[in-house]
Amino acid sequence: MNRVIHAAVRRDLDRLASALASVRDGDRARARQLRAAYANLHDELKHHHEGEDTHVFPFLAKVEGATELVEVMEAEHHAMADALAGARTAIDTYAATATSGDAHAAKDAIVAAHDVVERHLHHEEDELEPLMLPHMETPEWKVVEKKLRPTSITESGRFMAWVQDGMGERERTYLRSTIPVPVTFLLSRLAGRSYHRDVAPTWQSST
């Protein structure tokens, strides 16, 4: 599931940068759409990393040889938070003015944040995941997994709608092997209807 989330993060950062590069000057409706899409991505990524900070890293700190890696990961989270906050400020400015100049400044901030995020995601996939794999079936990790799950049906639905919007075939195959299709469909379409109302049209209008 970690890779599914990472794919969704990369996808949104890519299409935000692409959309911001091609907006019409003065298109306030489009500016508001892109701000809403970024706010959703920011919230999902923040929730994901707070879960790692609170539950995954303390678990990993007990794994032999992982102490230094945890310290690096925590520092990367701080760098990401700063970069994402900068992107949010730029997106908010663009939403207020709808000028092409501010759109391009927001695009540059998104690209810069993407670089910071990408370094962390690669680091996590290449170094953290191999350390975690031997522990995936332990009772201790199962407790952590439960704590990482969304805390409400609405939160689950919005998450499920988000990760499936433009999902690649590899991630879709994994999701289908893990969660029954009727469950993901109902969560996404019913509990996640706010995503389909507020965010999904952003990407439909860019296709």
Q: Residues 56-82: pLDDT tens digits? A: 989 988 888 788 888 999 999 999 999
Task: Report pLDDT digits (tens) over 103-155.
Answer: 999 999 999 999 999 999 999 999 888 888 889 899 999 999 889 888 889 99
pLDDT value for 33: 96
The helix-helix angle for 2-20 and 28-51 (nearest 10°) equals 160
pLDDT value for 207: 41
Are 115 and 43 spatial neighbours (Cβ–Cβ below 8 Å)?
A: no
Q: How far apart are CA 14 and CA 24, in angstroms?
A: 19
Q: Is the pLDDT of residue 7 over 90?
A: yes
Give the up-direction half-sphere exposure of residue 48: CA atoms within 13 A in the CB hemisphere.
23
Domains, the chain: 2-149 (1.20.120.520), 151-207 (no CATH)
Q: How far apart are CA 79 and CA 76, in angstroms?
A: 5
pLDDT value for 151: 82
| Mean pLDDT computed over 2-22 | 96
Burial degree of 172 (CB within 10 A; 0-12, 13-18, 19+) = middle
